[in-house]
Amino acid sequence: KYPTDYVSCRDVASMNLEVWREEESKDLQQCGSPRPIKNGDFIFSSKSGKLTALYSCYHGFTLEGAAEIFCEGDRWSDGPPRCA
Give the contacts of 84 (CB within 8 A, at least 6 positions apart): 61, 62, 64
Q: What pLDDT, on a 0 to 100 scale, did the predictor assign at position 66? A: 94
Confidence grade of residue 71 (pLDDT, cut at 50, 70, 90): very high
Share of the chain above pLDDT 90, in %: 49
Q: For 24-63, what is each residue's pLDDT tens digit?
A: 677 888 898 999 999 999 999 888 888 999 999 999 999 9
Q: What pLDDT, on a 0 to 100 scale, did the predictor assign at position 15? A: 67
Residue ranges covered by each domain of the chain: 23-83
Homologous superfamily in CATH for domain 23-83: Complement Module, domain 1 (2.10.70.10)
